[in-house]
Amino acid sequence: QNSELFTLTYGALVTQLCKDYENDEDVNKQLDKMGYNIGVRLIEDFLARSNVGRCHDFRETADVIAKIAFKMYLGITPSITNWSPGGDEFSLILENNPLVDFVELPDNHSSLIYSNLLCGVLRGALEMVQMAVDVKFVQDTLKGDSVTEIRMKFLRRIEDNLPAGEE
């Protein structure tokens, strides 16, 4: 099962958004929004199939995301690095990103965060398990960096609508 169709589909999506919206910032926002809508659904598939239990701390969450979720959906296992002293921030380092196979960013789209969909997915998925997080790309091979780095920061536990028994 090759991922060309996937890469091409994602590319078509991004280029269409670039045509529809006039600036990169708006495209980034749309990608994040679409990702969020995917994330809130994908989390159930993930939980139903992987059978992981509730994570006790953000470190466990990081492990689950990198070793199980990324593996399951993108076939890659990013490494986890750069933990903040408080244990509330870490980075995912992606050696390769299936979304950007064959992609080159043109000069007129220098502020475009091509894979921003991923940030939305992670944000949406974690929100459904009561974690508010901030997710952003800090390095991108598309922009000439040597690796792609996603920074994830734990903001707060979402207290409203807690599943019963979780207080």
Partner 1 sequence: VGHVVLAINGAEVNGRFTADGKDVLEFLGNPANYPVSIRFGRHRLSSNEKLMLASMFHSLFAIGSQLSPEVGSSGIEMLETDTFKLHCFQTLTGIKFVVLADPRQAGIDSLLRKIYEIYSDFALKNPFYSLEMPIRCELFDQNLKLALEVAEKAGPFGPGS
Bridge-based pairing of strands 148-157 and 79-81 is unpaired
Sheet holding 79-81, edge to edge: 79-81, 89-94, 148-157, 131-139
Tell me which stretch binds partner 1 (CB under 8 A): 1-9, 101-109, 144-152, 156-164: 156-164
Strand partners, 7: none
CB 126 within 8 A of CB 58: no
Tell me which stretch binds partner 1 (CB under 8 A): 22-30, 47-55, 132-140, 149-157: 47-55
Q: How far is the CB of 105 from partner 1 (least distance, A)?
A: 28
φ/ψ (deg, to 5) at 3: -100, 15
56 sits near partner 1 (criterion: CB under 8 A): no
Region 91-130 residues binding partner 1, contact defined as CB under 8 A: 128-129
CB 142 within 8 A of CB 114: yes
Question: Which of residues 34, 40, 68, 93 is near partner 1 by CB under 8 A?
Answer: 40
Share of the chain residues as helix, strand and coil, in percent rounded to the nearest 5: 50, 15, 35
5 sits near partner 1 (criterion: CB under 8 A): no
Tell me which stretch binds partner 1 (CB under 8 A): 9-17, 43-51, 66-74, 110-118: 43-51
Name the site residues for partner 1 (rule: CB under 8 A): 40-41, 43-45, 47-49, 53-54, 128-129, 161-167
